[in-house]
Structure 1
Amino acid sequence: MNGQEFATLEGATFSPSGFEREAVKGAKVYGYREKPREATLECKFPAGGEGSPATDEINSWNAVTIEFVADTGEVHMMTKAWSVEPASLDGGGDISAKFASATSTRVQ
């Protein structure tokens, strides 16, 4: 996030920006209509570890750059991203967070 690396737990989910398509139907299928979809990232941080962000810090993130690196080596960039909802802390010490941005770019 903005050049700072944070440890995340397994199981993050990234969805790139793009379009949702809906079929246009009448007497037959005429095609589809599109509406834009934002990029999203859902992930978990270990709470309290060295370099781990606090929930209030995560909640204040807006207009940040997030780089998502998948285990496969694929890299995506979310620019001007924001935290979608308040981050939550569970009893096991995991912080759940969700981020969104208007667009995303595959970097690698």
Structure 2
Amino acid sequence: MFSKDGAINVITEIQIAGSTNVKAQNWLWAWANSNLPDSLLRDAKLVRFFGEKNGIDELAQAYVIDGDQLEVLGWELAAVTVRICDAVGAYRSPRGEGGALYYVFKTINWAS
């Protein structure tokens, strides 16, 4: 949900693609993160299956390392998730100590 001044304006259905970690300089796919609820990992699991089926290691391995362009890597892998899973967009939420959590939007609707 997105809100302004306490009023909800937009309602979305989300899935979590993955997260970046500045200290580790990597991306962690959501399906490999045991701290996340399984109900939000469906799309990340589909990306993993796609990677395994097509021999794309970056999609099938838990971690992707890219110390130089970590934010770019996060957006690229979130965009891959959007494309493979037929989502409508992505969002980056900053996390403490650097890094971010990347979501994909399955639906976006105005609140009534």
Q: Same fold (TM over 0.5)?
A: no
Higher relative contact order (CA 8 A, sep 6+): 2
TM-score, length of structure 2 as denominator length: 0.29
